[in-house]
Structure 1
Amino acid sequence: MLVNLFQRLNGYLESQVIGQPELVKELLIALLADGHILVEGPPGLAKTRAVKVLSDCIEGDFHRIQFTPDLLPADLTGTDIFRPETGDFDFQRGPIFNALILADEINRAPAKVQAAMLEAMAEKQVTAGGKTHTLPDLFLVMATQNPIEQEGTYPLPEAQLDRFLMQLNVSFPGEESELAILRLNRGEALGEEKSDPVAVSQDEVFAGRKAVLTIYMAEDVERYIIRLSMATREPARYSDKLANCLQMGVSPRATLALDRCARAHAWLEGRDFVTPEDVQKMAYPVLRHRLLLSYEAQAEGLNPDDIITELLNQVAAV
């Protein structure tokens, strides 16, 4: 079965990206839900390795783009090159025209580059030289940003944050996981034979996306998703805490994202139906980067996850 293939892929990725099961699973959910993922965490936590290992398993090209303050949109999208022998301009494609993209430290690029990324992520196309060029059908961006260093960074605008399907906060692995990482790294350095990657074709990825969309979701669960979104826009109806902490709620794009991610989560769990628990599990990565907290909430030291917990406590599942 197709779901078994992706479950094996999940297991293989966890064996190669040790101590980050959530990162691995969210990557697969983003792949199946046809969205992009923003990963926030300190350096050295296998963010690059995760996308690289995934690209080794999936039919498609991988490219890492290091975002810097001097990066130009053409460095990302490509540019027209004049050919003297023909007298014409040919479009030289940039690194964005790969299937799997790692946008490393995306918040270090200026606004013009962010705008180029916004079109690519939202519409799967880039415009250069007055012409529109279509990106690959299989197109996934995993962007990273360092939560510690803020000097020389350009905070991502809300419009671009909303383009990310999910935001994942990555933490340090535990003691046993770090021991396993040490041994895996030593084995790779010695050239020890490792297990073969699980091969997944692009057709199987697209078939998986269709299968996810056919997962049964009861009307009560659909309305639960909508109530969660509405509660961020009309928080006073639910609790004073929500009303005081939320400056702006989520857009309908968040509702669509929560629907798809809950379906993908249920499908990867081997079920053919979505439960409220699937919605609750995915609410954190889907909503945390879309909520705009008030100054009062920030002054109290609250973060988006605290607000989502309150949201789930206040909004009835059925």
Structure 2
Amino acid sequence: MPLTEETLLGKSVEELTTWVKQQGQPAYRGKQLHQWLYQKGARSLTEISVFPKALREELKDYPIGRSSIYHCSVAPDKTRKYLLQLEDGLIIETVGIPTAKRLTVCVSSQVGCPMSCDFCATGKGGYERNLSSAEIVDQVLTVQEEFQERVSHVVFMGMGEPLLNTKEVVKAIKILNQDMGIGQRSLTVSTVGVKKKILELAHHKLQVTFAVSLHAANQSLREKLIPSAKFYPLPKLLADCRKYVEITGRRVSFEYILLGGVNDLPEQAIKLAKCLKGFQSHVNLIPYNPIEEVDYRRPNADSINSFSSILEEQNIAVTVRYSRGLEANAACGQLRAMLAQKE
């Protein structure tokens, strides 16, 4: 089961004000509690020094809704991957990615993932449950606390399919924006595509960056890489993405993991360009980060450059993005799987 609904993390300032009044406290303590939860990252009510000592003692065991760090792996580039243990003992992954100008957190939206993408370590580990909005926000607070630096960007690209948990993901986005002060345009939601869910998200009219993991420009190959694609044909997916642009006024980013000898050929770049012609979009090419469970390989530099150049020649906006923290088992699901094997 996810965190109890009675945990304080995930509540708005209005809800927290109602809660403190139920404890016999004045309404202004709701704003104090809100600040300590979302700005100071309190893990226990005993930490809230502005509360009377007697109140802190009385409420010391009341659940705030914070996870504990089960394991941390640090890469030479300072990327940190965390395994966080939830209230029910389940383990999720989250990653803190620092640069000179920003601190990005890659959050999970589910424990495991039901999509079973052929190249993905998380999909090999099965699916347990959705995360609550509090469990998503907790990941950001944990990384912020660990780095002692304000988080500026959040990407929903960790474990799980965000659009299979739309209600809690949207709630988490609003908390990150309204309660933690992270701009919506600094938030990214990534999906492999779930039928009807893209338009459901569109109608929330969020200002987030929306990223669709495409990985192939033809239906048969996409089904091989992403089994769920057989229920959501590529033409329908792209049509819904165009509607998303119309509804939100925001462009769509397409993630394309380059798999050596599989989807990195020049003719596939040309086909991808044809799919995206006239589309308000951007392509992120991501050279594959190998995992032990499958035989896919990382493409060489020539293949990467050639694929990117073909898209540019076809007037498709494109960026090559390299994974951070490769030495720290940074592919989603790798670290969790590796430790599970050792236990």
Structure 2 length-normalised TM: 0.25
Give the structure, 1 or 2, with the largest relative contact order (CA under 8 Å, sep 6 or more). Answer: 1
Relative to its length, the structure with more helix (as a share) is: 1
